[in-house]
A = this chain, B = another copy of it.
Amino acid sequence: MSKEKLADYIFSRITKAGVQHTFGIPGDFILPFYAAQTRTSLKTVVMTHEPSVGYAADAYARLRGLGVALVTYGAGGLNMVNPVGLAYAEESPLLVISGSPETRFRKGKPHLHHCVKTFETQHDVFAQVTAATTILDNQTTAVEEVDRVFSTMSRTSRPGYIELPRDMVNAEVETDADDAGRADRALQASAQAGQRQSARKEAIAEIVDRLKHATHPILMVGVQIRRFGLKDAVIALAEALNIPVVTSILGKATFPETHPNFIGNYFGQFGNPVLKQYVEKSDCVISLGAVLTEMETAGYTAKLDETNLIQINHHETIIGHHVYHDLDLNDMVRELLDVIGGKLEPTVRFEIPNIPAEAIQHPAGQKKLTVAGMIECLNQLMDKRDFSVVTDTGDCMYAGMSLKTDIFLAPGYYVSMGFGVPAAIGAQLAMPSLRPIVLVGDGAFQMTGMEISTAVKMGLNPIVIVFNNQSYAMLRFIDQQRDYFDLNGWDYVGLARAVGAEGERADSKENFARALDMAVKSDKTFVIDAMLEKEDISPTLRRLTDHFSKKVKAAL
């Protein structure tokens, strides 16, 4: 056993997880932890507003397996509940570390600044939106508590919350340097012991049997495959079976879109109608690492026959009407690969159909810029594979599904506006080799877009494309034209310049192509103000809003 400071122990767990950056905004209760951070190799990224801290750290987590937000108590922590909720819903391991009042003051009336009802208010709020929480108010149990939060996060790929009273930051704790992660391993071992091996064998046998009898199976790859680091195994599995692969909106780019087995993004009746038809006539759909939420099923328009459906996700496997609880996704994928890659007869290999992508074309002769025109220009850029795609919610996300990319970050299920620009900061720091193309609606840009300032400060260079239709366009299509859907017009290029970024306005396809070219040639953060007609939306968004408008109109 050796002694170290609690802060140093926490930072060592963070760096061992492969993290090189933390995101946050300093404030008095977290200052000693920020100071302790200067003893480490971690770089800290101070954003302008806490909601952005959450989005940036979430994006980092999606690409690195852990993202860390350092915030102060109350005014800091409570200002990022929504991004943490997003991370919970979309299974991103975002760790919130919040400073808080000294343990010795946490008695009597909570009349300290940044307090709401009780000293536990913030903790109790975060308990609602995270998988594990702790208040490190006890020197003896602190290390174990930190380990428990990290373990739960890594097991569930969901957010955790650590509250660090100011006088505990440099408290001496006993750790075993040779045995860091002991609690993790103990937990994993016990989880594995609990793995009903015979249940897994039975499930695998059922799946193999179904595959043997299937003529047109489909593999639907979901976001958990990326979250749990199974991408390569799933590629091998797809190749061994030569099975066609689709991804969902949240799972987009979890499987390489240039891979010959990949046939498109399946999105029920919101998506490509040809793909929809092909998928829904399949006699064996294997959904691997996807939770079939409302968004993954395109508002439950996905017509997937339950009897032909196999769902393997991180906590259960469902084969037709058989539910197997507590089967580990990792074990399932690897055992499937063993069985299929090795023992399955070579006859069980399938054909990859040729499903053309839905044509999205700028109308010939149209002088004004269109969403279709932008997608055309951007897809030419995508061929270079030098870019990641980060979208906000809105048509930017639905149109963005048409981009061929290996990295696609979007709030595809929880659909929180404001994700795009801050997430691009997290994405570029997590994957410095890819320059983010950020697609963001004007409504969402008005929430968090000024975070381009942080990109400038950090020397990053995302290309931010503002879908400028001066309205909450989606809401107009879901409801009807209302004056409260109109947005104040902003000069986005002027704003970019005011914070040290560059920018160009584009109101035609030619202008847009030129602006994009300038952006690519620039090494700075670059904003393209893409002026769109109010009625111009992507086919996907049109089908989606047609669907959702029924619910709203039923309630009007």
Once the chains bind, are B32 and A552 in contact (CB under 8 Å)? yes
Q: Is A415 an interface residue (CB 8 A)?
A: yes
In the complex, whether A152 has a CB less than 8 A from a CB of chain B is: no
- Choose among A34, A128, A556 the residue with the greatest number of B CB atoms under 10 Å from its CB: A128
Question: Which residues of the other chain, B, contact A291 by a CB distance below 8 angstroms?
Answer: 111
Q: Of the 9-residue stretches A166-174, A179-187, A514-522, which lies at the interface with chain B?
A: A166-174
Produce 1/0 per residue, A484-505, CB < 8 A to B. Answer: 1100111110110111100000
**Distance of A295 Cα from B110 Cα, bound (Å):** 12
Q: Which of A88, A292, A555 has the most CB of B within 10 A?
A: A555
Partner of A498, one of B27, B74, B491: B491
Q: Is the CB of A498 within 8 A of B499?
A: no
Complex partner residue of A82 from B75, B292, B294, B415, CB under 8 angstroms: B75
Counted per complex, copies of this chain come to: 2
When the two chains form their complex, are residues A27 and B129 in contact, meaning their CB atoms are under 8 A apart? Answer: no
Q: Please pick, from B50, B51, B89, B484, the residue contacting A115 in the complex, using a CB distance under 8 A.
A: B89
A112-B551 CB under 8 A given contacts A495-B498, A498-B495: no
The residue in A49, A51, A413 that gathers the most chain B C-beta atoms within 10 A of its C-beta is A49
Q: Evaluate contact between B556 and A170: CB separation under 8 angstroms.
A: yes
B457 close to A555 (CB less than 8 A): no
Chain B residue, CB-CB nearest to A474? B28
> Told that A81-B82, A453-B490, A498-B498 touch, could you supply 6 new A-B pairs with CB distance under 8 A?
A35-B482, A75-B86, A81-B125, A488-B499, A494-B497, A495-B495
Residue of B nearest to A294 (CB): B112
Quick check: is A205 within 8 A (CB to CB) of the other chain? no
Check if A111 sits within 8 Å of B294, measured CB to CB.
Answer: yes
What is the CB-to-nearest-CB distance from A544 to chain B, in angstroms, rounded to a whole number?
Answer: 11
- B113–A129 contact, CB under 8 A? no
Q: How far is the CB of A489 from chain B (nearest CB, A)?
A: 8
Kindly list chain B residues whose C-beta atoms are within 8 Å of the C-beta of A167.
Answer: 554-555
Interface stretch of the complex, out of A193-201, A266-274, A444-452: A444-452
Contact residues of A between 22 and 64, Cβ < 8 Å to B: 26-28, 31-32, 34-35, 38, 44, 46, 48-51
Top 8 nearest A-B pairs by Cβ distance? A494-B498, A75-B416, A79-B82, A111-B293, A78-B82, A32-B555, A491-B498, A48-B446
CB-based contact B484/A26 at 8 Å: yes
From known contacts A78-B129, A121-B128, infer whether A89 and B116 are also in contact, taking CB-CB under 8 Å: yes
A324 at the interface (CB under 8 A from B): no
Cβ–Cβ < 8 Å partners of A492 in chain B: 498
Residues of B within 8 A of A121 (CB): 85, 128-129
Measured between beta carbons, the chain B residues less than 8 angstroms from A102 are: 551, 555
Contacts of A498 in B (CB 8 A): 490-492, 494-495, 498
A85 contacts across to B, CB distance below 8 A: 74-75, 78, 116, 121
**B555-A170 in contact (CB<8A):** yes
Q: Which residue of B lies closest to A171 (CB)?
A: B555
Cβ of A219 within 8 Å of any chain B Cβ, yes or no, is no
CA distance A483 to B112 in the complex (A): 28
The reply on A228 being an interface residue by CB < 8 A is no
Asked if A454 is at the interface of the complex by the 8 Å CB criterion, the answer is yes
Instruction: Give chain B residues whose Cβ lies under 8 Å from the Cβ of A450.
Output: 446, 450
Residue with the greatest number of chain B CB neighbours at <10 A, chosen from A112, A113, A169: A113
Distance in angstroms between the alpha carbons of A552 and B74 in the assembled complex:
17
For the complex, give the distance between the alpha carbons of A113 and B548 in Å: 11
Instruction: Give the CA-CA distance A102 to B552 in the complex, in Å.
Output: 10
Task: Report Cα–Cα, A231/B495, bound state, in Å.
Answer: 44
A475 and B31 within 8 A (CB)? yes
State in angstroms the CA–CA spacing of A26 and B448 once bound together.
17
- Docked complex: A513-555 residues within 8 A CB-CB of B: 548, 551-552, 554-555
CA of A243 to CA of B416, assembled, Å: 54
Partner of A114, one of B27, B414, B453, B475: B414
Tell me which residues across on chain B come within 8 A of A554, comparing CB atoms: 167
* Complex interface: chain B residues within 8 A of A482 (CB): 26, 34-35, 38
Contacts of A31 in B (CB 8 A): 475, 478-479, 552, 555-556
The distance in angstroms between the C-alpha atoms of A28 and B446, with both chains bound, is 19
B552 touching A415, Cβ below 8 Å: no
Query: Which A residues from 119 to 173 make CB contacts under 8 A with B?
Result: 121, 124-125, 128-129, 166-167, 169-170
Closest B-chain residue to A36, C-beta based? B556
Q: Are B26 and A472 in contact, CB atoms less than 8 angstroms apart?
A: yes
Check if B34 sits within 8 Å of A484, measured CB to CB: yes
Chain B residue with minimal CB distance to A166? B555
**Which B-chain residue is minimally distant from A127 (CB atoms)?**
B124
